[in-house]
Amino acid sequence: MSLEKTDGVVLKTVEWSETSLIVTLFTRDFGKISAIAKGARRLKSPFESALDLLSLSSVVFLKKSGESLDLLTEAKLQRRFRSAQVGLLPLYCGYYAGEVINALTENHEPVAGLMESLCMTLQELDRQASPAWTILDFELQTIQRLGHMPSWRWCVACGEEIETDRQSIAFSPLGGGVLCPNCTPTQRGYLRIDRQTLQVLETRAAHLSRSDLAMELCEPTATRAPAILAPKVRAELRLVMEQVMVNLSERRLRMLDFLGDLKR
């Protein structure tokens, strides 16, 4: 057992006893942690609002070994997620971002930059940046940081570069990328997507991998948001990302059902 100090975003809280909560946080230095917060349900909680959903807080916890829950000893609020005051869609997008991180990460396995990506996403939603672009960038950043970025250019079955002059291209969520015309008939469960959808995904992914996170934070939203897209492309972007997320988390994420407005 050791006493550890870090920053983390609250992903989930569950009532544990009359007075306590089990809190799941995604932290900068320890990845996801699940800790008991004794007294957190009391009126005069020692944690005050530091354990509200999606708050960024500085925490001190006693790290237990094996499967045991950690013990949270201190939590101090740094930044609150405010999108409830902005609108329902940004609020749902924030919940979804938390659900994604919870579903795709393991306890005590740190992922470089992932907490910062989540914080940046929540800030963007709070300041009413486009939810559709904010969530797409979040999803791409998350799968990139976890090493699951799909192949947008090379066929996942044979490795050949695909021809992007075709109007529609096959994408296999299970295979993790695009399929060339030769390999497509041999595969199952692929989607047919417009080449413009593929271009958007490839361009955004390349932009995110190049850009420094700190610079990204300073960059005005207007320069980050590309042109308005056709409804078909917007719908396909969501379809691709939903399928990718379902495959990675091996279940349908609950909040996906609340993000229909991102397609419009």
Stretch that binds Zn ion, among 3-11, 183-191, 234-242, 245-253 (CB under 5 A): 183-191
Cβ distance 233 to 199 under 8 Å? no
Instruction: Count Cβ atoms below 10 Å from residue 111 Cβ, excluding itself.
Output: 19
162 binds Zn ion (CB under 5 A): no
Q: How far does CA 75 lie from the centroid of its chain?
A: 23
Looking at beta carbons only, is 178 or 245 nearer to Zn ion?
178
Q: What are phi and psi of 43, to 5 degrees?
A: -55, -45
- Least Å distance, CB 161 to Zn ion, is 10
Q: How far does CA 228 lie from the centroid of its chain?
A: 23
CA–CA separation, 200 vs 258, rounded Å?
23
143 binds Zn ion (CB under 5 A): no
Stretch that binds Zn ion, among 68-76, 84-92, 141-149, 175-183 (CB under 5 A): 175-183
Residue from the set 35, 119, 155, 208 that interacts with Zn ion by CB under 5 A: 155
Query: DSSP assignment, residue 125?
Result: H
Residue from the set 157, 198, 237, 253 that interacts with Zn ion by CB under 5 A: 157
183 binds Zn ion (CB under 5 A): yes
CA–CA separation, 244 vs 254, rounded Å?
15
158 binds Zn ion (CB under 5 A): yes
- Least Å distance, CB 170 to Zn ion, is 9
Stretch that binds Zn ion, among 80-88, 118-126, 154-162, 251-259 (CB under 5 A): 154-162
Q: How far does CA 238 lie from the centroid of its chain?
A: 14
- Least Å distance, CB 180 to Zn ion, is 3
Cβ distance 187 to 179 under 8 Å? yes
In the complex, which residues of this chain contact Zn ion (CB under 5 A)?
155, 157-158, 180, 183
